[in-house]
Amino acid sequence: MEDRDAPAAGPTAPDYHISAESSLADRRRYTLKHGDTFALLDPYGDFVSGSHEGLYHRDTRYLSHCRLWIGGKRPLLLSSDVEHDNVVLNVDMTNPDLFDGDRLVLHKDAVHLSRTIFLWDNCRYELLCARHFGPDPVRFMLHLDFAADFADLFEVRGFHRDRRGGVTAEAAGDRLRFVYESLDGQPRSTEISFTPAPSTLSRKAAVFELDLDPGEARNLVWVSRCTTQWTTPQHAKLPAALRGALRSERRSPSGHRWTRVDSSDAGVNAVLGRSRADLAMLCSQTPHGSYPYAGIPWFSTPFGRDGVITGLETLWLDPELSRGILQFLAAFQATVVDPDRDAEPGKILHEMRRGELAELGEIPFGRYYGSVDSTPLFIALAGKYLQRTGDLETLRSLWPAIEAGLDWLERYGDRDGDGFVDYGGGGGRGLANQGWKDSHDSVFHADGSFAVPPIALCEVQGYAYLARNEAAVVAHALGKDALAVALRQRAAALAEAFEETFWCDPIGMFGLALDGRRRLCQVRSSNAGQVLFSGIARREHAERVARELTATRFFTGWGIRTVAEGERRYNPCSYHNGSVWPHDNALIALGLARYGLSSAVREVTDAVLGAAHRMQLRRLPELFCGFRRRPDRGPTLYPVACAPQAWAAAAPFALLEACLNPRFDPAGGQLYFHKPQLPAGLQWLRIRGLRVGPATADVRLLRDGDGVRAEVANGELRVHVVD
């Protein structure tokens, strides 16, 4: 993700931070998404100018204001909630006391207002039902205000631009249209249609005069369509659109059959249900398959690193999602050297933007490659996908992209020729730091001074090690045995050099990074925990890292901090230097499980699931602050965290994988659980519709004394518990 913390003395880079003049946590907000469109709404179903709220499409805010009034006053909110599948926002309201001078003309609670809001096919649909419960006929007005600023998402985040196009509005009959005079030549407009037509319609508002008898109800519908064409196509009628939205979001994130997980604990089930629904909402269908957009509101677009890690977290349950991720990223792999976009042949995409600033080149993120770890992670996911599915045909089609990625690791990934994968600082317009902690101040020495490029992050060396080993698996399956041997030898040599260079005995873990002066950043960071995910560490060092991560300077009770308490730049309220990231904890847990460190796995799992249980909607956000857990207090929210965020939504499933340790034999239709354990409080965990090769079954894991046993139903899958 881009740097969000306000710049301080440090590496010089453009300012892409997210303004924190207001907080996404300062009041309750709801998120809806379908395809390339999302909406951020308040509890009334409105969004107001001057906030981050609005209706967005392809990195542009197509409506910046939509507010409902009754009799000139805001309705009284009764309740609002998003259905568990994230499709529909339901809002219940009633009228306040309405006066004509000193005369009460409508007693409070006489009219019930029900709003049903959802997104479908680039449109925001709303059905408003007004029902009168009073004893006498009434007349009142419903008033809707609208505005459209067509702000680029980076403008909403706080990016300053010197010029922008104007907005014109046209109102006639049953339609209100806002048209943006784009500077990039791309047509952008918002058309709002009303059924029935308003009593009066201006360029800013629609007014409905309603006469209702006792018990009478009236339905009003308005549809706001985001268009990127000069002519406005017709939208679907509301009932058909709602049916389509419900069918779409009830599928799995990949659009295929989703392996469902439930348990004996209702709280855990609520977390898992929300995570599944969030992943399904964030995934958008592309010509290459389903792809999880990174997060809302700031990152509702494809990100390479985020997509691959989301795939790794969900691979054991929904490998079809990883297939779409791999095919999408292979299609957009860099083929030329372009310093302005940090692109080099074979490099995997960092992010893709489609707003006006990207189209004009005012920001470099239209198709941007400033991510040092996306490429090795892509290769690693490809190998793991093959082992999970046995799908050799897909890997055969991906092999050219894998080869190009391996070539990038050797030719471009090591700028100073020391054998370690590094990055050089963003090329002037991009990101200064290009690992997953890409804030400007996230890579530093023990004294707080910044590392100088080229910078080799510890976890990235693990990713490179894992990539070569996983590529060797694919090469062997394709009959390229000599290459497979060479890749394993290259991985082994990297592991030896890594241990010698990055291990730092005084801090009891691997140093954060090696900088361009060959100085190790002797900083305790969660990056060292992600090293374990790759298996590059020696066992004795993995055990020491685990002890550090579960000690009080790292472990908050809600999860592991990104930077240990006491380090020079530690700040529990920062983006990357002391906060808690669910996906970071999930990768660490998978690494701990790799080394058989079951007690640490359980501790991390229980903490993060406990945090999710205390969050609004049981939804894990992108990150939260790294304060220690206190009695009767939930986690402290980070002010501009995305929620939902794909790799955070996927984290509970990765944590369960770390607990269960599944190993798949797709050719034989067999599944092995190696020393599985259940999270605290669970008596059983059920996995329904789990597919391994040609076999599928429902698997139930039950607590059995100090161990776990398995029961299989409804299928031919052979399941084994290995102690």
Q: Round the average pLDDT of the chain to a whole number and report it.
A: 93
pLDDT of 9 higher than 60: no
C-alpha to C-alpha distance for 468 and 486, rounded to whole angstroms: 9
pLDDT in tens, 74-123: 999 999 999 868 899 999 999 999 998 888 989 999 999 999 999 999 99
Residue 561: both structure tokens together: 């901090």
Task: Specify the pLDDT at position 427.
Answer: 56
Q: How far apart are the first and last CA of the chain?
A: 40
CB 471 within 8 A of CB 541: no
Torsional sign, CA 532, 536, 539, 540: negative
CB 328 within 8 A of CB 302: yes
217 — pLDDT class (breaks 50, 70, 90)? very high
* Sequence-distant (≥ 6) Cβ neighbours of residue 298 within 8 angstroms: 1, 18, 153, 157, 640, 642
Residue linked to tokens 């006066």: 99
Task: Specify the pLDDT at position 655.
Answer: 98
pLDDT of 24 higher than 60: no
Name beta bridge partners: 563. Answer: 525
Residue linked to tokens 């909110």: 77
CB 297 within 8 A of CB 55: no
pLDDT in tens, 314-323: 999 999 999 9
Residue linked to tokens 């609520």: 270
> Please, what's the b/e burial string for 531-569 (b: 16 or more CB within 10 A of its CB; e: otherwise)?
bbbbbbbeeebbbbbbebbbeeebbbbbbbbbbbbebeb
Q: What angle do CA 504, 509, 515 make, to 5 degrees?
A: 55
The edge-to-edge listing of strands for the beta sheet with 200-201 is: 65-70, 138-147, 205-212, 200-201
Domains of the chain with bracketed CATH: 36-157+164-248 (2.70.98.40), 284-660 (1.50.10.10), 671-722 (no CATH)
Task: Specify the pLDDT at position 18.
Answer: 58
CB 320 within 8 A of CB 254: yes
Burial of 130 (0-12, 13-18, 19+ CB in 10 A): buried
C-alpha to C-alpha distance for 7 and 640, rounded to whole angstroms: 16
632 — pLDDT class (breaks 50, 70, 90)? confident
C-alpha to C-alpha distance for 355 and 372, rounded to whole angstroms: 24
pLDDT in tens, 600-617: 999 999 999 999 999 989
Task: Specify the pLDDT at position 16.
Answer: 60
